[in-house]
């Protein structure tokens, strides 16, 4: 994120010190993070899933030789690498960006498990040590996936980006989401039409789901849920057009 910010400052001011600092920071991430899969950040240890906070920070799990990973780190890195490529036109940044994006896409649901009682296809999880599905971060991820798809002419990325955008609305309580609506009403029987638009940030936040409403959650956050989904849709319409979003291919 800091790399992307510094490159934007370079664009706005023409000050090459910002560009130099950004590329130096990017080199550090390439050397120390991408090559080792060290996708750590604050949320990895000190948010809702604190496994390893006392003994795994900066350390790999012995059993699988992997760090505890958060896909937000992958997103910020793929975004920064795309900006580095756009500014420098160096192919190496684009190739590393695609590599990082592909690692991010490994956390996107490509099937509908029978133990998920809302639609999760196209949605994103969070970490490799967490149980959440359909997280609101997919609304941020969507356009970046589409941008790589456009640049690389990859239909798969287009499909995945649009699937992520559609998944961004799945947790919303409304008639347009019948299976989700039914689960909300099992979790909270007092829900009615006045609650349409209520939307949890993800599904299975506590690590459990059931056909009786377990996993639906209990709070709504405008900028990490319904508002984030609406903003992502509006932004992609601005950049790609409504016809693109609703195209069959």
Q: What is the pLDDT along the chain (249 residues), one digit of tens a residue?
A: 799 999 999 999 999 999 999 999 999 999 999 999 999 999 999 998 899 999 999 999 999 999 999 999 999 999 999 999 999 999 999 999 999 999 999 999 999 999 999 999 999 999 999 999 999 999 999 999 999 999 999 999 999 999 999 999 999 999 999 999 999 999 999 999 999 999 999 999 999 999 999 999 999 999 999 999 999 999 999 999 999 998 865
Which of 147, 142, 159, 113 has the alpha carbon at shortest distance from 229? 142
Bridge partners, residue 127, by sequence: 70
Q: Is 159 exposed, middle or buried (0-12, 13-18, 19+ CB in 10 A)?
A: middle
In this prediction, residue 247 carries a pLDDT of: 80
CA distances from 154 to 138, 151, 160, 161 (A): 19, 8, 10, 11
Joined tokens for residue 241:
């057009």
Which sequence spans correspond to the domains of the chain?
A: 1-81, 107-249
Q: How many other β-carbons are positioned within 10 Å of the β-carbon of residue 225?
A: 25
Q: What is the pTM of this model?
A: 0.96
pLDDT at 122: 98
The SS3 call for residue 170 is coil
The reported pLDDT for the residue numbered 1 is 77
CA dist 37 → 46, 52, 119, 134 (Å): 19, 16, 29, 23
Tell the burial category of 247 from Cβ atoms under 10 Å away from its Cβ (0-12, 13-18, 19+): exposed
Quote helix, strand, coil % in the chain, to nearest 5: 55, 5, 45
Q: Can you tell me the distance from the alpha carbon of 45 to that of 150, in angstroms, rounded to the nearest whole number?
A: 35
Q: What is the DSSP string of 90-149?
A: -HHHHHHHHHHHHHHHTTB--S--TT-SS--TT-B--BTT---BS-TTHHHHHHHHHHHH
Residue from 23, 141, 170, 7 nearest 72 by CA:
141
DSSP, collapsed to helix, strand or coil, labels residue 177 as coil
What pLDDT is stored for residue 179 in this prediction?
A: 97
pLDDT of residue 249: 57
C-alpha to C-alpha distance for 135 and 201, rounded to whole angstroms: 6
In the chain, how long is the greatest CA-to-CA distance?
Answer: 59
Q: Rounded distance, CA 162 to CA 139, Å?
A: 10
User: How far is Cα of residue 54 from the mean position of the Cα atoms in its chain?
Assistant: 26
């Amino acid at each position: 994120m800091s790399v992307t910010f510094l490159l934007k400052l370079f664009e706005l001011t023409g000050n090459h010190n910002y560009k130099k600092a950004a590329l130096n920071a990017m080199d550090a991430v390439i050397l120390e993070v991408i090559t080792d899969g060290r996708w750590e950040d604050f949320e990895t240890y000190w948010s809702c899933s604190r496994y390893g906070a006392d003994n795994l920070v900066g350390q790999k799990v012995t059993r699988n030789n992997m760090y505890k990973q958060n896909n937000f780190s992958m997103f910020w890195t793929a975004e920064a690498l795309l900006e580095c490529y756009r500014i420098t036109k160096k192919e190496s940044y684009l190739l590393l960006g695609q590599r990082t994006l592909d690692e991010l896409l490994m956390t996107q649901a490509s099937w509908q498990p029978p133990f998920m009682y809302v639609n999760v296809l196209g949605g994103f999880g969070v970490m490799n040590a967490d149980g959440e599905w359909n997280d609101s971060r997919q609304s941020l991820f969507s356009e970046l996936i589409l941008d790589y798809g456009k640049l690389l002419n990859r239909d798969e990325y287009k499909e995945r980006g649009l699937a992520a955008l559609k998944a961004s609305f799945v947790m919303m309580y409304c008639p347009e989401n019948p299976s989700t609506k039914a689960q909300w009403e099992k979790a909270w029987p007092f829900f009615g039409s006045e609650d349409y638009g209520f939307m949890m940030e993800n599904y299975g936040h506590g690590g459990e789901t059931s056909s009786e409403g377990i996993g639906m959650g209990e709070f709504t956050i405008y900028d990490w849920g319904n508002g984030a989904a609406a903003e992502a849709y509006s932004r992609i319409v601005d950049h790609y057009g409504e016809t693109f979003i609703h195209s069959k291919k």
